[in-house]
Every structure is written in C-alpha cells, then in structure tokens.
Structure 1
Amino acid sequence: MSEMINNREKQELNQSQRQKLLKEIIKELHDGKNVDEVKERFQQAIDKVSVNEISQMEQALMIEEGISVEEVQRLCSVHTEVFKGSIEEIHSDEALGTKPGHPVHTFFKENREIDKFVNFKLSLHKDQYQRDQSDENKEKLFHDLTELLEIDNHYSRKENLLFPYLEKVGIFGPTKVMWGVDDKIRAAIKEARNQLNDDTCQLEELIANLEFIIEEVSEMVYKEENILLPMSMEKLTEDEWLKIEREGDVIGYTFIDLPEPWQPERANLLDQSFMKEGVVQLETGILSLDQLELMMNHLPIDITFIDENDVVRYFSHGKERIFHRTKSIIGRTVQNCHPPQSAHIVNALLDDFKSGKKDVEDFWINFHNKFVYIRYFAVRDKNGTYRGTVEFTQNIQPIQAITGEKRLMS
C-alpha cells in the first residue's frame, strides 16, 4: 500500500512543484554539485520530464533567478546529460509525423549526416592525426573542418527561421541558450582550422578542441531532436511551418541535397503574394508597389529598416545579399535577430541613436572574400524625433580597386 501511495504522490507532482524541483537541481549544478549525485536525485524524484518543462525551466533561470544566458549555456550540456533518457518525447522523424520536405524532416535528415560526419569521419581523422602528424593526415583533418563549416546553414535556418516563430509564442530562453552554443561550435571549428596551420599550437590543444567539437555537435543533435523540434511541432501551426519551408532555400542546407518541396494536404494555406496592388504617393513622386519593390532590390546595397521600437519592418532582397535575411524576421525585435553575446553592441548603438548622441555609425569587415562596409543611420522626423534605424551594407572591394577616370561608356 505504501508503495502505491508513493507512486501516486510522484505522479501527482503538479507542474509548479516539478518546475521548482527542476530549478533546484540546475541551481545545484550551477553551484558545482556533482553531476552523478544530482542525476540520481532527479531520477528518484521524477520519472519523466517534458520538453515544455525544460523550456520553462531555462526561461525561469534567466528571468526569475537572474542567471545569465552565458551561464545557462554552460549548464545546458550538463543538464542535458542529467535529463537524457528521461524526456517523454524521445521521437524519431517518423514519430513526429512529418513528411519529406517538411522543415522538421529536413532537420532530422541533416542531423543524420552531421552525426555520421563528426562521429565517424572527423573522429577517425582526429585519431589518425593524433598518432601521426603527417602532411597527409593534416590535410584530411583540415578538409573535414572546412566541410564542417557547412553546419552554419543548418544552425542559421534554425536561428533565423524557426526561432522567430517560437519567440512569437513566448519561448525565448531555449532559443537564446541554443544560439549561444551554436556560436561556440562555429568558433571552435574555425579555431581548429587555424590551430592546424599554427606551428606553435600544441597537439594536446588541437585534440582537445576537436573532441569539444565532436561532443558539442553530437549534443546539439540530441537537443534538437528531443527538445527543440518536438516542442516546435507542438507550438507552431502548419501555416508557419510552410513559411519556414518556403524560405529554407535562401540560407541553404548541410550535407544533403535540396529537399523536395513540401505541400500540406490542405490547399491554399498561405497567401504567397506578400504584396498587394496599389501605389505609394511620396513627397517627390508616385510609384506603384511593384516599381518601388524593383527599385529597392536593384540598388547595389542591402537595406534593412527597424522602427522606433526596435522591430524589423523591411529589408531589400536583391539577388546577392551579403548577409542572409528571411521574411520571418519581419515583426521581430532586432535584438533577437543577433546572437545573445552581441546583443549589448546592438543596444549600445540604438541607445546612442535614441539619445541623440550619434546619428551615424560605420563598420567595415572582411567577409567571404568581400570587403563589407556597414553603415547605420538614425532616422528622425522633421521634429527630430527618433523614428528608427536604417542599415546599409555594401561590398566595396570593387570600388576600392577603381583608379584613374572613366568618361566613356563601356
């Protein structure tokens, strides 16, 4: 009888109690408690934990407990290990009910290839190089790391297409944490490539970084398939998945061919015409919406505009944009369009514009064999009131090469 009562008590733990216990366990990890000890306590207290509870717990840690995004990122891998095997939604792509072409199906398909790549190919070449630092083994490893940079497509689709819709339904914590881990993986891959070509780098440092990459990429596969994607399937509508699928090609894919188009059984789910017929009367002219759209997209620069509330309202979409933009960012705050660790730079820039301290800020960087000039301008009305910020991005490498004069047509 006592055993039945104990079982019933465990089953009747309400959500508030479970959340309290989950936060206590993670805070104990935060304070340096032994993982195995915490894991044993967790397994004794709760048989199963849902992905929604993990999501709520991460947000509560940041909002209610004041633990930083960076610290939750550090704990992310640890608490994944604690919860592994206890999550209710241990799904396969088939169990999630998706068909080929659906974004979730595509994420799973990429993850199969990513997991195979890091745990077989990269791991094998790492071991070979650890035993013998020959030029041949070095070249294999460098080639692997260069290929693995393609993982940016997988992560970028997740961050720029999927995350905005989760944020619209109030899910912020997991997106910020996961984006931060993605960036650490990206940085580690680039660092490993540099280490291979650095004669002063110790072999132990390189191997440790490679093992970090393999472990973190593998953990991210697990987190996506057992936490992020099941939660997303529960929260997002079919219309939203269709919008995500339609824009996937803009960013690209990792280790797979272009997926076949996905069409839900329901017809006419989405109005594909993002423009309505009409004209825009400006102070110095009148343009049809079609003319205005064509003109903006033929400018030799990329334009993005955010309003006075930091919400992205528009971006031009010419044939060769320098930085990816997808329609899902429209209506999203600009802070949530950047990795968490760079949000403070965005806020500092906007604070200077809003206060009137600055009207313009310029940056220039080397990016994908381009020399990119990025200019930000505060937009003010005739009364000097701040109304937003416009970003101009241009590859000025061809301009830098100009010499002499050109007075005749080519």
Structure 2
Amino acid sequence: MTELLNNQDYRKEALKEIIRELHRGKSVEEVKARFNELIKDVAPAEISLMEQALINEGLPVEEVQRLCDVHAAVFKESLERAPQPETIPGHPVHTFKEENRALEDLMIREIQPLLAELRRANPDVEKDLAIKLAEKLNLLQDVNKHYSRKENLLFPYLEKYQIVGPPKVMWGVDDEIRDLLKEARDLAVNYVPDKKEELITRTEAALAKIKEMIFKEERILFPMALETLTEDEWYRIMLDSASIGYCLIEPREDWRPAQVKLDQKETVASEETRGYIKFATGILTPREISLIFDHLPVDITFVDKDNVVKYFSNTRERIFTRSRAVIGRRVENCHPPASVQVVEKLIADFKSGRKDREAFWLHLGDKYVFIQYFAVRDEKGDFAGTLEVTMDLKPLQAISGEKRIMD
C-alpha cells in the first residue's frame, strides 16, 4: 500500500477524485477525511497537474475556478507542512512576497479595524468612516499591479512548460477580486446609510479572497514556478517588472543571478548589417520601422494567423500592459477567462471572412479607450492575422474650433 501511495500517477488520480467529489456535492469535512487517508503530503506541482488534468478532461475553467477556494482549504494543512522555498531580495518571488506582507498589513492593521468601527458606528459618523475606508480601498487596489505582473510576466513562462490550467484559474479569481474591490470602493465613495451592510460585506469578501490568493501564491504558484523557470527567465521577469509597477512597496535592491552579466546589454545589429526592407511605397530599415511604430499615437499589437502574438509597439504610455514575455504566446492565454470567448469568436469571424473589423470603447480610469481590431489579409484575401489598435479618445474629444498655425 505504501508503494501505491507513493506512486505519482496514483496520487494525481486521488487528487482529481477529491475535486470530483467536491463537485458532486460532498462536504469539505468529508473530503478532508478522505484526503488525509489517501495522501499525507502534497507538492505544489501535483496540484498544478491535477487542475491541468481536470481542464484537459473537459471540466470548464470556470468550474475549477469555482472550486478553487474549496480545494485550497482542503489541501491547506498539507501545504502548510511543505517547506517554503528560499528567495533572495530583489528576486521576483521575493518581491511578490514582500507585497503580500504589505497587503496583509494594510488589511489587518487598517481596513479591518475601520470595518469594525463602521459596523458599530452611529449614523452621524458613518460618512466620515466610509471616506476613510475609500482611501484605504484605493491603496488596496494597488494589488492590481501585483496581479498584472503575475498574469503578464510569470504566466507566459509557465505556459511555455505546458502549465496552462492553473494560471487560467488563478487569473479568473484575480478578476473576481478586482471586481469586489471596485464595488466596495464605489459603495464607500458614494456612501448611503442603507448600503452600509453591503459595503461591509463586499469589503470583507474582497479581503477574504485576497488572503486566500496570498496562500495559493505562496504555497502553490511560487514553489511550482521556482521549480520550473530558469534563472534567465526570472531575470527577464525582474527586468520587465518595473514597466508594470509594484504594489505598495518597491524592491530594495536588484537581484543579480550568477550567470547573467548585468553589463551585458542586448545588442541590436546595425542598420547596415540588417539592410533595408522594400515596400510598395518606399524602403526602410528595421530600425526606422521600429521607431515609426513606437511614435504612432496609438498602441499596436499583431497576432498571426495561428493566434500567436508576434509584435507590439513600444509606445511611451501604453494603455494596456504588454511585456516581452507575451511574444510567442497564444492570444487566448493573454486574456482573463471571462473574455476568452469574445476573443475566440472575433478571430473566428475574421478567419471565416464574416467580419473585417470590430471596435469597442470603454471608460478606463481617466481615459476613454477606443479599441479597434482589423483582419489583416494578403493580396489574395487570405487571412494573415489580427491587428489591435488602441487609443485614448479623451484628448480628441476636447478639440474644438480650428488650429491653422503652429504655436
């Protein structure tokens, strides 16, 4: 029996069966008892394999996502016994963990006491407390940078190693947290007394999910990633992190992996060695093409006919986060689960010829974002890829009258 329990395939099947039992309606306590009978210790990679296997077998990502908090609780005791990997200051995982400590401090020391005070407050002071809570929730929304680095820098490397399911599940939960925080903040900013309980409930739900996400990151995601990624890949993540930003704290120092020379910069071949590219309307060097794209007043992303991201322009102030890690990534893995179906349908319409373009517009902070998608076709009309063009319409909306001379 001991040999059987130590068999990795058997352990994986046992883990999958536990999740299926939860899905069929068994209680957490019943499942925990079976779990303790069958499996003594769980490695982070095994949970990843379990989630991936369930998705491969046809269980929708949303279903795995719905069970995410439940099976995290089921495995919590075993995972807490697992040794946590050592990290070095400046290493991306160390930075993620430092941010988690800052998030915990904000939630426990500042937001939770405010909620307790608001719950027992008299009506005449509730508004002031709600304003204070809104300020703290503004700070807590900084977690979006933490999640964005995880989704746009770490997840693409995991996908290279065929670890696709767990990132999708986690991204879906990240979006749930974003939504809860936005709802709670809006309730606090526009406080009315009859929404007091709803404000408290939404905020507490957001805090609970953030705490669970911290546990999942530190006991499942980060150990699995540390076992999988190379130092070069971690180094690239570190280099790209500043472009997205950090949550509540800044890394105190840079991480210097042993085999990467910091003074060795990526070199670009000279224009002479690269030559010119001839177009129907002129000739340009690759360097000139890159500069032109990077100076356009719009953001451009190109996805090829096989749904692989091939290029994005490096404009000074991008509206949506992009990093070099996205290159070579399948486009459906670049979007949260909630929007994947929209992306897939749009590209399918382009490929079939049903559509040649589509547009969306939305308010994003102080921007009014206009997103256009174009089917790129060759001279024969064959589909070659999808071009995304994004811009902020707000400055254009402010234009009035005429301007005929230079300032």
Both structures adopt the same fold (TM-score exceeding 0.5) = yes
| Aligned-partner residue type, residue 172 of structure 2 | G
The answer to whether structure 1 residue 174 and structure 2 residue 171 are counterparts is no
Aligned match of 1:364: 361
Q: Return the TM-score normalized by structure 1.
A: 0.93
Aligned residues of 1:366 and 1:372 also touching (Cα < 8 A): yes
Q: Residue 3 of structure 1 aligns with which residue?
A: none
C-alpha contact 1:364 1:373 (8 A) present in aligned 2 = yes
Equivalent of residue 112 in structure 1, options 101, 105, 109: 101
C-alpha contact 1:306 1:313 (8 A) present in aligned 2: yes
What are the Cα deviations for residues 194-239 of structure 1, in whole angstroms up to 9, with x where unaligned? 2232537533322222221111101111110110000000000011
Question: Match of 2:201?
Answer: 208
1:102 to 91, 98, 105: 91
Q: CA deviation at 1:139?
A: 1.4
**Separation of aligned partners in 2, 1:119 and 1:296:** 46
Secondary structure in 2 matching 1:202: helix
Choose 126-135 or 370-379, whichever is displaced more: 126-135
Equivalent of 1:291 in 280, 288, 299: 288
Give the equivalent residue in structure 2 for 1:121.
110
Q: Closer, same or farther in 2 for the Cα pair 1:232/1:89, shift >3 Å?
A: farther
Paired letter, 1:338: H
Contact 1:49–1:88, Cα closer than 8 Å, also in 2: no
Change (3 A) 1:70 1:270: farther
Q: Note closer, same or farther for the CA distance 1:320–1:72 as it changes in structure 2 (3 Å cut).
A: same
- Residue matched to 2:277: 281
Q: CA deviation at 1:258?
A: 4.5
Within 1, Cα distance between the matches of 2:357 and 2:150? 32
Give the whole-Å Cα distance in 1 for the aligned partners of 2:196 and 2:287. 58
Match of 2:392 in 1: 395
Post-superposition offset of 1:290: 2.2
Spell out, residue by residue over 1:307-357, the C-alpha distance to the aligned partner (whole angstroms, 9 max, x if none): 001111111111111111101000001111110110000011101111111
CA–CA distance in structure 2, aligned partners of residues 9 and 247 of structure 1: 45
User: Are the equivalent residues in 1 in contact too, given 2:373–2:389 (CA < 8 A)?
Assistant: yes
**Cα 1:127–1:176, aligned 2, differ >3 Å: closer, same or farther?**
same
Q: Does 290-299 or 261-270 show the bigger shift?
A: 261-270
3-state DSSP class of the match of 2:302?
strand
* CA deviation map 1:163-218 (0-9, x unaligned): 00000000011100000000000000001112232537533322222221111101
2:12 to 9, 19, 44: 19
Looking at structure 2, the residues matched to 361 and 271 of structure 1 have their Cα atoms a distance apart, in angstroms, of 43
The one of 144, 149, 152 aligned to 1:157: 149
How much has 1:9 moved relative to structure 2?
Answer: 4.8
Query: Within the alignment, does 1:301 sit opposite 2:298 as a pair?
Result: yes
Code of the residue aligned with 2:29 in structure 1: it is D
* 1:22-171 alignment runs, 5 A limit: 22-64=15-57, 66-87=58-79, 90-92=82-84, 96-132=85-121, 134-171=126-163
Aligned length: 399
Residues 172 and 267 from structure 1, CA distance in 2 versus in 1: closer, same or farther, beyond 3 angstroms? closer
The one of 229, 234, 253 aligned to 1:241? 234
Any gaps of 5 or more consecutive residues in structure 1?
A: 1-5
In structure 1, C-alpha distance between the alignment counterparts of 2:327 and 2:223, rounded to whole Å: 25
Identity %: 49
Q: Tell me what 2:261 maps to.
A: 268
Query: In structure 2, the residue corresponding to 1:376 is in which secondary structure?
Result: strand
Letter in 2 for 1:279: G
Given the superposition, is the C-alpha separation of residues 301 and 387 from structure 1 closer, same or farther in structure 2, using an over 3 Å criterion? same
Q: TM-score, normalised by structure 2?
A: 0.94
Code of the aligned partner of 1:120:
R
Q: Which amino acid aligns with 1:348?
A: K
Corresponding residue for residue 338 of structure 1: 335
Instruction: State the Cα RMSD in Å.
Output: 1.8
